[in-house]
Structure 1
Amino acid sequence: MHDIRAIRDNPAAFDRDLERRGLAPLSAELIALDDARKAAISAAQANQERRNALAKEIGGAKKAKDEARAAELMAEVARLKDEAPGLDAAQAEAGKVLDERLAAIPNRPKPEVPEGADEHGNVEYRSFAASRPRLTTGRQHFELGEATGLMDFEAAAKLSGSRFVVLKGQLARLERALGQFMLDLHTQEHGYTEVVPPVLVRDDAMFGTAQLPKFRDDQFAAGDGFWLIPTAEVPLTNLVRESILAEDALPLRFTALTPCFRAEAGAAGRDTRGMLRQHQFNKVELVSITAPEKSEEEHERMLACAEAVLKKLDLTYRVMTLCTGDMGFASQKTYDIEVWVPGQETYREISSCSVCGDFQARRMNARYRPKEGKGVSYVHTLNGSGVAVGRALIAVMENYQNPDGSVTIPSVLQPYMGGLNRIEGPAS
């Protein structure tokens, strides 16, 4: 959500930021809506002030025993009272129209975000090469998984349709091992607090992190006003909604391993084979709540925490700074981590780390009280994948595959696998 006062103070800067996002100027429209809201407020206030003044005049007229004047004034009060509900409704409607318009506009990009129309405008930030020789080609994860009988898309389709998978045996355990490894890393080494949040949330929570209303078609509605979470970002960030925090309590850092649910409404025909784009998947989420002056530093820290997962798994990856045309709706700046997948002979996203400034905090009314100065200010929010468990499974399977179709277990995961160091191939 945008601050209309900031737009009023510098409309040209706001329009320039929207232009970088590929949008037309909107400041004049928004200021006109705000003018209408202010006029509606003034009309309602004027009505109340006039009634207050008339009440005093009626008292004076009655004291002077001027019954005719008192009756005249009372008639005017009655008329004003009749008008008041309409004025109050007009005030509420004007505020609603402005808020809905503001809520539909994406966040303003930071000045250093590269400009571009789509993913082709993204810029490499840094990269990491695994210590093992990099496979440049190989079988895709679903070929490996189906050959062993441990990855079953056909059974999943009978249960739920397309974009689902059933994992069995050692592959199911490997996915569980990946999630537990990530949680242990982030809680024990990176200082995140583990949370087990609800995976059903209400409209207000989805609005707070900006999944609603714009991305309604990408979500799964569960009925009775509930939504299945598309990511644990939603419940974790909303833990501070409608709160005033002490600055000393910041930063707050939360992590959670949850199932995530996405309708993938805009992904028809994309990645239909395998586990890359599923309706249901597991992900370890990272969320930070900070004071404004600390959010940039926290963004770099969060990125490093997500990178640590891939470094310990010894996977080759690169970090991309997303351009203005590829950035998420709520983001001011986003880093994507893309892991090398030899089966596709390309890099694929495995984590997104975004700083949102006060954009989500305004929607949630999440604030803090600075140690210095008076009043309260909005917190800054950040979120990132630490990382997507299913995509990590894909990366491990494809990068650690052997010619016989077996998969070597990375050493860091072997304790979580009961000491198992290899998932045998179909010929074994």
Structure 2
Amino acid sequence: MLINAKSLRSAIMLDLRFVRDHQEEVAQAMHNRNAEWDAQLFADLDATRRESISSEEALQASRNARSKEIGALIAAGKQEEAEQAKADVRAINDQLSEISAKREAIDTRLHELLLKTPNMPCAETPVGKDENDNPEVRRWGTPREFNFEPLAHWDLGANLGILDSERGAKLAESRFVLLGGLGARLERSIINFMADTHTTRGYKEWWCPAMANAQTMTGTGQLPKFEEDMFKTREGLYLIPTAEVQLTNIHAGEILEAADLPLRYCAFTPCFREEAGSAGRDTRGLIRLHQFDKVEMVKYAKPEESYNELELMTNDAENILQLFGLPYRVITLCTGDIGFSAAKTYDVEVYLPSYNGYKEISSCSNCEDFQARRMNIRYRDPEQFKGTRLVHTLNGSGLAVGRTMAAILENYQMEDGSVRVPDVLVPYMGTDVIEPA
């Protein structure tokens, strides 16, 4: 069911009343997040806004009372007094216009301030400065011990003739790659396997546009904060950085039924990121590209169920790695490393021999009602409460395909330069080994 249209401004940010009533808590949370937050500016704007609203209401009451007098004065034949009352009403309207314009300007400034303010971390999110403060939750699998010198996936791929970074840069620019032969088939096989696996675990698959408008990007928090990290095709249209953008906006402006929750969605899409600010990081291979493939998971859940759904979603990401037989670990992101829209995040990191360590391959987050408020996604449960409430939204990579390919190539490489295909991918690949062409 669609909700009647409302101003986007009324549902685009952290709840204004919450921020007003918990200013110290919000300031501390933003400090823990290393986020900019001008507490005094907010307090001043909010106070001025409330004063303006009070003035508007007083003037409206005065205008209404004076307007009622006009008819009575005319009926009593008091024309001169009636004209004075009309003049008074016009003067009040002029005052109202000035005060309303002032209040609208303040609304705009508050809107812009809160629009750029990240979500509140949940109580379980550990306080920390950066990625070095992310605690490990668990590990699965044991990194392989090689009896030969293993190659990095970019060298393996080049030797096998399945990954060509030079021609990718020739066709586009650096940080684009060209996959050929069994490399292209491996990419497609990984995508199909991931989508097939998630749909057997209760996810509904979608096929989404690879572009999104500004309102859609704003709904999940990509805009305005991260505009520099996105590819813009023309005014108001962007290439998506993740299918989360589309899957989470499917129900924007709608009221869902409690009986239908949780909704579990997944989709494969190409993803596009400028990778602004990452100069010099992961410049080789498949780890940090401008264009990459990903299978994304998204959930809409009741607030009281959302953290259990986060655990299940993280397990779904881990399940893919377990089926591939790839060692990994799970960490909890601290306040200084957590994403803009998230209240709590688990990162799943796969072991890569070329890094002699673990590299992120999935990030699973509970955004609570942060995105739902921006998109105005609510649900109703007449047996539990009157009216409607905001849903909680969750998202997670299930998984990043390029990084999965890199992990398979490196962990399954053989001494002769060939790569063994994980058992679960053999039916998709039509072969159990990738050898030089």
Task: Name the residue aligned to 2:419.
Answer: 407
Task: Give the structure 2 partner of residue 171 of structure 1.
Answer: 183
The answer to whether the Cα contact below 8 Å between 2:161 and 2:436 also exists between their aligned partners in 1 is no
2:373 to 336, 349, 362: 362
Q: Indicate conservation of the 8 Å contact 2:353/2:411, yes or no.
A: yes
Shift in Å at residue 247 of structure 1?
Answer: 1.1
2:358 is the counterpart of 1:347: yes
Return closer, same or farther for 1:39/1:301 CA change in 2, 3 Å cut-off: same
Instruction: Judge which range, 264-273 or 281-290, deviates more.
Output: 264-273
Asked if 1:69 corresponds to 2:81, the answer is yes
My pick for the range that moved more, 6-15 or 364-373, is 6-15
| Partner SS state of residue 240, structure 1 | coil
- Give me the identity figure in percent: 47
The alignment's TM-score, normalised by the length of structure 2, stands at 0.93
Cα deviation digits, residues 230-261 of structure 1 (max 9, x gap):
00000100112111111111111110000000
How does 1:268-417 map onto structure 2 within 5 Å?
A: 268-370=279-381, 371-417=383-429
Equivalent residue number for residue 141 of structure 2: 129
SS in 2 for 1:343: helix
Q: Is the 8 A contact 1:135 1:399 kept in 2?
A: no
Which range moves more in the overlay, 18-27 or 156-165? Answer: 18-27
List aligned pairs for 1:41-190, cutoff 5 A: 41-129=53-141, 133-135=144-146, 138-188=150-200, 190=201
- How far the C-alpha of 1:10 sits from its partner, in A, is 2.9
Partner of residue 241, structure 2: 230
Q: The residue matched to 1:403 in structure 2 has which SS?
A: coil
The answer to whether the 8 Å contact 1:44/1:91 transfers is no
Deviation (angstroms), 1:134:
4.3
In the aligned structure 2, how far is the partner of 1:134 from the partner of 1:183?
A: 31
CA contact (8 A) 1:229 1:261 kept: yes
Decide whether the 8 Å contact of 2:144 with 2:411 is kept in 1: no
Pairwise CA distance, 1:135: 4.2
Aligned-pair CA distance for 1:345 = 1.5
Out of 34, 38, 42, the residue aligned to residue 50 of structure 2 is 38
1:24: how far off? Answer: 6.9
Paired residue secondary structure (1:158): helix
CA distance in 2, matches of 1:416, 1:306: 20
Q: Tell me how far apart the structure 2 counterparts of residues 133 and 148 of structure 1 sit (CA, whole Å).
A: 21
| Backbone CA RMSD of aligned residues | 1.7
Q: Tell me the distance in 2 between the aligned counterparts of 1:186 and 1:19.
A: 37
Cα distance in 1 between the residues matched to 2:235 and 2:123: 42
The AA in structure 2 aligned to 1:406 is S
Question: CA 1:187 to 1:143, structure 2 compared with 1: closer, same or farther past 3 Å?
Answer: same
Displacement, 1:353? Answer: 0.4
Residue 116 (structure 1) shift: 1.6
Counterparts of 2:138 and 2:67, CA distance in 1 = 71
Aligned-pair CA distance for 1:119? 0.9
TM-score (norm 1): 0.95
Number of equivalences: 423
1:193 and 1:135 mapped to 2: Cα distance? 40
Query: Aligned partners of 1:119 and 1:101: how far apart in 2?
Result: 26
CA distance in 2, matches of 1:284, 1:59: 68
Q: Is the 1:157–1:164 contact (alpha carbons within 8 Å) kept by the matching residues of 2?
A: yes
CA displacement at 1:197 relative to structure 2:
1.2
**Counterpart residue type for residue 376 of structure 1:** T
Aligned-pair CA distance for 1:224? 3.4
Query: Is the Cα–Cα contact under 8 Å of residues 266 and 296 in structure 2 kept in the other structure?
Result: yes
Q: Distance in 1 between matches of 2:35 and 2:197?
A: 41
Contact residue 32 and residue 129 of structure 2 kept, 8 A: no
Unpaired segments of 5 or more residues in structure 1? none
Preserved contact between residue 120 and residue 343 of structure 2 (Cα < 8 Å): yes
Residue 8 of structure 1: CA displacement? Answer: 2.8
What's the counterpart of residue 267 of structure 1?
278
Q: Could you tell me whether the CA contact under 8 Å between 1:276 and 1:390 is conserved in 2? A: yes
Q: Quick one: distance in 2 between partners of 1:94 and 1:42? A: 14
After TM superposition, give the deviation of residue 275 of structure 1 in Å. 1.3
- The structure-2 alpha-carbon separation of the partners of 1:213 and 1:398, relative to structure 1 and needing over 3 Å to count, comes to same
- Does the Cα contact within 8 Å between 1:404 and 1:425 map onto a contact in 2? no
**1:140-182: CA deviations, max 9, x gaps?**
1110111122211111111111100000010100010001000
Q: What is the rounded CA distance, in whole Å, between the counterparts of 1:221 and 1:89 in structure 2? A: 33
**What amino acid maps onto 2:18 in structure 1?**
A
Q: 1:23 to 1:202 in 2, by over 3 A?
A: closer
